[in-house]
Chain A
């Protein structure tokens, strides 16, 4: 039996060095005065999981819990401090909408440029150019420069390019808030299509509805550690009750505060 997951994360730890001396001058002074202990911040703390081929994994967690660091490390942008990330297949990361787009170039030029940055050949981009433009719904603006685009239009364009890049593994970081309702629906539809065509998707979102609808399994992380991994219903319920607990704790403190000082 040849079991071959699309993504395998093994005991992954990622620490960031917090440093504020970013000049030769201050580094030299610190060296002389011997005042230089770099502080470390652990963003991911011993995380292990697997994602099967064709699976859609959702990641939930509060801001700063490590979702984006995890996605960036899977994408190969951050190097693990320890542990390992094994990826089988071509990764298309969409971690930040509008990345690589040049505001002073036309939409046409930008499609080819972003394609190159995503590792796609010019022939491939030429063949898929019309499909990208059609999907984005920006047919009237192909020869406009991007600085005249609204944020929503830029989001449409980035998403259209990424989704047509023939991804084997697609990483999405909170990109569903972008675009109007019609476009979000279309993105969701295209994503379902991708799921059928055996594409692995890892997405992080604060939108419970997207997680519930589009995802096979959910990973909940907090402070860089896995809290729970399982079916959307199970994890979302646990996550929601945890949020509720924290909120009620905060409300209690508030009440006490007003009892004492109010």
Chain B
């Protein structure tokens, strides 16, 4: 009896994985119209932001920052994954209304697969960032720890994704609210500027998970130094708590999704 239950569970998990794989592959193909050249258009956005900000700020805000181009690029790339991933999962449930209303597919699999798709695109940005770091010679063995940061960033984005996708079903103006919120958050996070030591921004940023996310990445990839433990702990706490809260809300609301979309 126990064995058959184990077999059934394994079979079930394989099904879920297959759904994740097929839907993420499909949406990736869809976005790139099966050509895989489409990824260059995806990279164009962050590269444009980088070019403009670099042109505007390299002589001003960035003049005192070591390796300002990499400082800027790493900030933009890390931010871009969170912003792209969260805004994509915002519409994960509403955008798949047809499936939700007609097939008893696990609802969380749909959100996860959207996030995997965003993550795969993000890997191309990471590759470019790493290439620049390698060319400018900032990569050290410490950079390997970046994979752990990536995992935490993924979990944080996923938690946000669960929360947003579930709430968006019930509140149609969440899209506008979220876009304004992320814009404010973007300016509040030191992406193209630095925080002065001991200023009020430094204290506030302690509660900004994106600050830690970006600081960890910069320290590891650009400056080759071991980041402070506090940053690891704060980002990990934010990631886990967001995931738990997001999933709890999603789980509570998901039985009613089909009725409201």
Q: Is the CB of B104 within 8 A of A77?
A: yes
> Of B18, B34, B258, which one neighbours A78 at CB under 8 angstroms?
B258
Tell whether B259 is near chain A: CB-to-CB under 8 Å. Answer: yes
Q: Is the CB of A117 within 8 A of B258?
A: no
Tell whether B60 is near chain A: CB-to-CB under 8 Å. Answer: no
Tell whether B19 is near chain A: CB-to-CB under 8 Å. Answer: yes
Tell whether B49 is near chain A: CB-to-CB under 8 Å. Answer: no
Tell whether B240 is near chain A: CB-to-CB under 8 Å. Answer: no
Residues of A with C-beta under 8 A to B104: 75-77, 91, 93
Residues of B with C-beta under 8 A to A177: none
The prevalent SS among residues of B at the interface is helix
> Of B30, B100, B177, B255, which one neighbours A24 at CB under 8 angstroms?
B177
> Of A17, A77, A112, which one neighbours B258 at CB under 8 angstroms?
A77
Tell whether B251 is near chain A: CB-to-CB under 8 Å. Answer: no
Q: Is the CB of B99 within 8 A of A117?
A: yes
Tell whether A225 is near chain B: CB-to-CB under 8 Å. Answer: no
Q: Is the CB of A117 within 8 A of B105?
A: yes
Residues of B with C-beta under 8 A to A121: 14-15, 18
CA distance A187 to B30 in the complex (A): 31
A-B residue pair count with CB separations less than 8 angstroms: 84
Residues of A with C-beta under 8 A to B29: 105, 109
Tell whether A261 is near chain B: CB-to-CB under 8 Å. Answer: no
Residues of B with C-beta under 8 A to A112: 22
Question: Shortest Cβ distance from A99 into chain B, in angstroms?
Answer: 4
Residues of A with C-beta under 8 A to B258: 72, 77-78
Question: Shortest Cβ distance from B95 into chain A, in angstroms?
Answer: 12
Q: Is the CB of B103 within 8 A of A117?
A: yes
Tell whether B207 is near chain A: CB-to-CB under 8 Å. Answer: no
Residues of A with C-beta under 8 A to B98: 96, 99-100
4 extra interface residue pairs, beta carbon distance < 8 Å, beyond A77-B102, A116-B22: A102-B26, A115-B22, A116-B21, A116-B23
> Which of B's residues lie within 8 Å of A, judged by CB?
14-15, 18-19, 21-23, 26, 29-30, 33-34, 98-105, 170-174, 177, 255-256, 258-259
> Which of A's residues lie within 8 Å of B, judged by CB?
16-17, 22-25, 27, 72, 75-79, 91, 93, 95-96, 99-100, 102, 104-106, 109, 112-113, 115-122
Q: List 17 A-B contacts (CB under 8 A).
A: A22-B172, A24-B171, A24-B173, A24-B177, A27-B171, A72-B258, A77-B100, A78-B259, A91-B104, A93-B104, A105-B29, A105-B34, A106-B34, A109-B26, A112-B22, A121-B14, A121-B15
